Amino acid sequence: MPYSFHWNVIPKDLPELVRGLHITLEITAVALVAGFLLGMLLALFRLSRSWWLSAFARGYVTAFRAVPLPVVLLVFFLVVPQLLVTFLHLPPGTDIRRVSALIAFSLFEAAYYAEIIRAGVNSVPGGQINAALALGMTPLQSMRLIVLPQALRATVPLLLTQAIILFQDTSLVYVIGLGDFFTIASNVGARDGTTVELILFAGACYFCVCTAMSAVVRRLQVRFGGISGSETI
């Protein structure tokens, strides 16, 4: 017997799904900005002459890349509440799931952004640093004024590709029961017996958004040139 669809449930469920979409977008935006800034710091640590900083950055990236994201989310959901209560004195009403997901995603993405930015910095010819130093710039100035602007420009397409991956990965907050777009869709489906419709709808939404964003990235890639990164992603 073929499955009979009830697509009319989608409009009814839209308000709830939109609430989930807010969480999805919030995590994506926060992790994008915080992960990028932390990633830049890690990349500079990694490239610095200090053995300790470099080793720390290498260890950080290796550790986060060795553990599956669902496990990272679960660990943070477990660890962060205790840390927050001890250090930040959060008000009791705070949504621990949301805070721990935001922190976990920011720290996790930082490891990936660090590798991308490092590749970008390495793509700038070494002669440019020598030239900057010869002109009397300090190492910090040559990094800030000469190397980073070119490195970041070269990594724009890769950074955006990583952002699309991040947008998709936010759906994994399902494992800690945080109500993002996908989790809400799945829960509403289970509640109303419309799992098939809602999962198909959610899949179609992700597909459309990500396809459109990939097309934009491809455009930018043509414009910016940039390093190719099939092995980084």
- Using CB under 8 A, list all residues that contact another protein: 2-3, 66-71, 74-75, 78, 168-169, 171-172, 174-175, 182, 186, 189, 195-196, 199-200, 202-203, 206-207, 210-211, 214, 230-231
**Which CB sits closer to another protein, 28 or 142?**
28
What crossing angle do the helices spanning 195-224 and 9-47 adopt, rounded to 10°?
Answer: 40
CB of 205 to another protein, least distance (A): 9
The residues, ordered by sequence, that sit 6+ positions from 162 with a Cβ below 8 Å of its Cβ are 109, 112, 113, 116, 233
Segments of 66-154 assigned E as strands: none
**Which CB sits closer to another protein, 150 or 195?**
195
CB of 176 to another protein, least distance (A): 11
Amino acid at 186: S
**Which CB sits closer to another protein, 9 or 200?**
200
The distance from CA 121 to its chain's CA centroid, rounded to whole angstroms, is 20
**Which CB sits closer to another protein, 32 or 132?**
32
Closest CA to 122 of 94, 154, 92: 154
**Which CB sits closer to another protein, 50 or 82?**
82
CB of 188 to another protein, least distance (A): 13
CB of 26 to another protein, least distance (A): 17
CB of 66 to another protein, least distance (A): 5
The residues, ordered by sequence, that sit 6+ positions from 153 with a Cβ below 8 Å of its Cβ are 224, 226
Amino acid at 179: G
Q: In 10 A of CB 155, how many CB atoms?
A: 26
